[in-house]
Chains A and B, each alone.
Chain A
Amino acid sequence: MMGVCFFTRPSFAIDTYQNPENFLKEAFPNATPQAKILWITKTRGEVARRILGHNFGALRQRYWRNGERTVWILDEIGKMHPITTGILVEGGAIKRIRVLIYRESRGGEVRYPFFTEQFEGATLTKNLKLDRHIDGISGATLSVRALTHLAELALYLHGEAINTP
């Protein structure tokens, strides 16, 4: 038998860089609006699957909206564990993206402004891709990919939320 120890419970460190509540307060300095629900219909689920490369995994997504400004707190697996990311979208472009909670053992450099600032102003093309190239980080390829997909997803969901009566 191999002398390998397997942990039955995920054994990762949870690094909280910013509390989701604080991210919301920053995005809506006057007052955080009430959360709304965007239902992940069959069509939305299929588009989300195209963006993420896997099923969305839930039937609804909460968001916060004030006029043309929406905030999305989304999770995506980097290598093994979800990266919780806050994304502020305004007028169809990303205004701010922050890694809120990071659980992977490697690749945490994606939280630094030199990386996240690349997303500011990015919009979504018809092919559901960002309108710009995002430079990668050595050793953080999967985390970079996860954040890029989340940015694309947030822009898509923003469009859906704005167009939903």
Chain B
Amino acid sequence: MIKRIVNEIRQRPPYKWHRHIGTLAAIFFVFLAVTGVAINHADALKLDQRHLASDWLLDWYGIDPETDSVSFAIVDGRRLTGTGASLYLDARRVATTDDMPVGLAEANGVLAIATANEILLLTPDGNLLERSAANLIPGPIEKLGITAKGQAIAKTPVGIFLADRNLLAWKPSQATATWSQATAVPAQLLEKIGKAERRRMLTLERVFLDLHSGRLFGSWGPYFMDGVALLLLVLVGTGLYMRFSKRGQ
């Protein structure tokens, strides 16, 4: 049996092998070429800014809806909630954050929400007014609140700092404050923003990279792509053989 196969390989002209392998591998070469060119130009094509919302693909990647959150109630009944890498005003995503919020203050018609590293100022309708590095206040922010006069106030390990009217400068203060308290998000809202956040976690660039390497198809995917690469080498060999040998011609 093996002898017969070996004889067949020996006897079959190289152009036949070239043709068969080329046909078999063509679809994968097209696939590798398309994904390769896309990855090479990922920045220009903004692949890292395009998010895929397909539920089955997110399931395939094992990306679950976000459930970890910190939420603060606003006086008018709405909520500012930090989850994943985003901040939501009710169910609307209003900003990216680098950490979970630690406090909220409503002062002079502005919503100020702090993480340890920065303070985000939002208009009442949720537009980002400004984000500023919390380094302008000494120490990581632990709490945010308001004074009896309605001024925003922040607590860090270094001390307590009172904001000016425009929330631009924070000065050391001894004022007493009502600190904001995180409260539980209603389950329905949490489910909604959890799903919205989930749909921001997978970029087209990630998928193209995993398609190109074969990793999208599981742990055997890269080996399969290795096989496709080997087929390309065989094609190079048979192509050169046909070009330079009498038998090939």
Task: Kindly state the interface size class of chain A when it binds its partner.
Answer: 20 to 34
Which of the residues B59, B98, B130, B133 comes within 8 Å of A60, measured between beta carbons?
Answer: B130
How far, in whole Å, are A101 and B117 apart by their CA atoms in the complex?
Answer: 11
Dominant SS among interface residues on chain B: loop
Chain A CB within 8 A of B31 CB: no
Q: How far is the CB of A139 from chain B (nearest CB, A)?
A: 14
Q: How many A-B residue pairs have CB under 8 A?
A: 79
Which of the residues B48, B62, B133 comes within 8 Å of A2, measured between beta carbons?
Answer: B62
Contact B62 A57 (CB under 8 A): no
Q: A81 contacts which chain B residues (CB < 8 A)? A: 98
Task: Kindly state the interface size class of chain B when it binds its partner.
Answer: 35 or more
Q: Which residue of B lies closest to A39 (CB)?
A: B129
Q: How far is the CB of A1 from chain B (nearest CB, A)?
A: 5
Chain B CB within 8 A of A3 CB: yes
* Chain A 23-66 interface 0/1 with B at a Cβ cutoff of 8 Å (1 = within): 00000000000111100000000000000000001111110000
Chain A CB within 8 A of B26 CB: no
Contact A20 B61 (CB under 8 A): no
How far, in whole Å, are A9 and B210 apart by their CA atoms in the complex?
Answer: 22
Q: B201 contacts which chain A residues (CB < 8 A)? A: 6, 8
Pick out which of these stretches binds chain B: A72-80, A107-115, A116-124: A72-80
Chain A CB within 8 A of B150 CB: no
Given contacts A8-B68, A14-B117, A103-B98, A2 and B130 within 8 Å (CB-CB): no
Which of the residues B66, B117, B210, B219 comes within 8 Å of A8, measured between beta carbons?
Answer: B66
Which residues of chain B (56-78) have a CB below 8 Å from chain A?
A: 59-63, 66, 68
Contact B132 A59 (CB under 8 A): no
Q: B117 contacts which chain A residues (CB < 8 A)? A: 14
Given contacts A3-B219, A10-B85, A21-B136, A35 and B128 within 8 Å (CB-CB): no
Contact B61 A2 (CB under 8 A): yes
How far, in whole Å, are A60 and B122 apart by their CA atoms in the complex?
Answer: 11
Q: How far is the CB of B108 from chain A (nearest CB, A)?
A: 13
Given contacts A2-B62, A9-B99, A10-B85, A21 and B135 within 8 Å (CB-CB): yes
* Chain A 77-103 interface 0/1 with B at a Cβ cutoff of 8 Å (1 = within): 001111010000000000000001101
Contact A6 B62 (CB under 8 A): yes
Given contacts A10-B85, A16-B135, A1 and B130 within 8 Å (CB-CB): no
* Chain A 149-164 interface 0/1 with B at a Cβ cutoff of 8 Å (1 = within): 0000000000000000
Contact B168 A61 (CB under 8 A): no
How far, in whole Å, are A82 and B97 apart by their CA atoms in the complex?
Answer: 11
Q: B178 contacts which chain A residues (CB < 8 A)? A: none
Contact A2 B131 (CB under 8 A): no
Task: Show the binding face of A for B, using Cβ within 8 Å.
Answer: 1-4, 6, 8-10, 14, 16, 19-21, 34-37, 57-62, 73, 75, 79-82, 84, 100-101, 103, 142
Closest A-B pairs by Cβ, 3 of them: A35-B168, A20-B135, A59-B129
Task: Show the binding face of B for A, using Cβ within 8 Å.
Answer: 43, 48, 59-63, 66, 68, 84-85, 98-100, 117, 123, 127-133, 135-136, 138, 166, 168-169, 201, 210, 215-216, 218-219
Q: List 21 A-B contacts (CB under 8 A).
A: A1-B59, A1-B61, A2-B60, A2-B216, A6-B201, A8-B85, A9-B99, A10-B98, A20-B136, A21-B135, A57-B128, A58-B129, A59-B129, A61-B130, A62-B130, A73-B132, A73-B133, A82-B98, A84-B133, A100-B133, A100-B135
